[in-house]
Amino acid sequence: MIRFGSVFAAATLVLTSAAFAQTQNVPTGQGVCAAGYEKSSKDGIITGISAEDLKVVDTNSDGKVSKSEFDNACSKKLFKDQSAK
Protein backbone atom coordinates (compact mmCIF):
# COMPACT_ATOMS: atom_id res chain seq x y z
CA MET A 1 0.00 0.00 0.00
CA ILE A 2 2.89 2.36 0.73
CA ARG A 3 4.31 1.67 -2.72
CA PHE A 4 0.98 2.64 -4.35
CA GLY A 5 0.97 5.91 -2.40
CA SER A 6 4.50 6.71 -3.54
CA VAL A 7 3.70 5.97 -7.17
CA PHE A 8 0.52 8.03 -6.98
CA ALA A 9 2.37 10.98 -5.42
CA ALA A 10 5.11 10.84 -8.06
CA ALA A 11 2.59 10.65 -10.90
CA THR A 12 0.65 13.60 -9.49
CA LEU A 13 3.83 15.65 -9.23
CA VAL A 14 4.80 14.89 -12.83
CA LEU A 15 1.35 15.65 -14.23
CA THR A 16 0.92 18.92 -12.35
CA SER A 17 4.42 20.03 -13.37
CA ALA A 18 3.60 19.40 -17.03
CA ALA A 19 0.34 21.32 -16.76
CA PHE A 20 2.10 24.26 -15.12
CA ALA A 21 4.85 24.29 -17.77
CA GLN A 22 2.27 24.56 -20.55
CA THR A 23 0.90 27.79 -19.14
CA GLN A 24 4.32 29.46 -19.31
CA ASN A 25 4.08 30.12 -23.08
CA VAL A 26 0.81 32.05 -23.04
CA PRO A 27 1.45 35.53 -24.47
CA THR A 28 0.61 38.48 -22.28
CA GLY A 29 -0.34 42.00 -23.21
CA GLN A 30 -2.96 43.61 -25.38
CA GLY A 31 -1.73 42.77 -28.89
CA VAL A 32 -2.96 40.38 -31.54
CA CYS A 33 -0.84 37.49 -30.26
CA ALA A 34 -2.30 37.82 -26.78
CA ALA A 35 -5.81 37.68 -28.24
CA GLY A 36 -5.02 34.62 -30.36
CA TYR A 37 -5.66 33.80 -34.01
CA GLU A 38 -9.36 33.02 -33.67
CA LYS A 39 -10.13 36.37 -32.02
CA SER A 40 -7.73 38.44 -34.15
CA SER A 41 -8.64 37.01 -37.54
CA LYS A 42 -11.79 37.02 -39.59
CA ASP A 43 -11.39 34.97 -42.75
CA GLY A 44 -7.61 35.44 -42.63
CA ILE A 45 -7.78 39.20 -42.23
CA ILE A 46 -6.03 40.42 -39.07
CA THR A 47 -7.35 43.69 -37.72
CA GLY A 48 -5.05 46.00 -35.84
CA ILE A 49 -1.83 45.39 -37.76
CA SER A 50 -0.16 47.70 -40.22
CA ALA A 51 0.26 47.04 -43.93
CA GLU A 52 3.98 46.79 -43.26
CA ASP A 53 3.44 44.04 -40.66
CA LEU A 54 1.11 42.22 -43.05
CA LYS A 55 3.81 42.13 -45.74
CA VAL A 56 6.26 40.54 -43.30
CA VAL A 57 3.78 38.07 -41.80
CA ASP A 58 2.01 36.99 -45.03
CA THR A 59 4.77 34.72 -46.30
CA ASN A 60 2.85 33.41 -49.31
CA SER A 61 1.60 36.90 -50.34
CA ASP A 62 -2.05 35.90 -50.67
CA GLY A 63 -3.23 38.94 -48.70
CA LYS A 64 -4.41 36.81 -45.78
CA VAL A 65 -2.72 35.47 -42.67
CA SER A 66 -3.13 31.74 -42.06
CA LYS A 67 -2.97 30.22 -38.58
CA SER A 68 0.53 28.89 -39.26
CA GLU A 69 1.72 32.30 -40.51
CA PHE A 70 0.17 33.92 -37.42
CA ASP A 71 1.79 31.43 -35.03
CA ASN A 72 5.15 31.84 -36.77
CA ALA A 73 4.93 35.63 -36.55
CA CYS A 74 4.02 35.52 -32.86
CA SER A 75 6.85 33.12 -32.01
CA LYS A 76 9.33 35.39 -33.81
CA LYS A 77 7.73 38.55 -32.34
CA LEU A 78 7.20 40.05 -35.78
CA PHE A 79 4.18 42.13 -34.79
CA LYS A 80 5.15 45.64 -33.66
CA ASP A 81 3.08 45.30 -30.48
CA GLN A 82 5.48 42.59 -29.33
CA SER A 83 8.74 44.44 -29.84
CA ALA A 84 8.94 45.64 -26.22
CA LYS A 85 8.31 42.17 -24.77
Chain mean position to CA 43:
19
54 close to 46: Cβ distance less than 8 angstroms: yes
79 close to 33: Cβ distance less than 8 angstroms: yes
Q: What is the largest CA-CA distance in the chain?
A: 64
Q: What is the pLDDT of residue 23?
A: 41
Question: When comparing pLDDT for 10 and 62, which is higher?
Answer: 62
pTM: 0.58
The CA distance from 61 to 5, in Å, is 57
Whether 79 shows a pLDDT value over 60: the answer reads: yes
The CA distance from 8 to 2, in Å, is 10
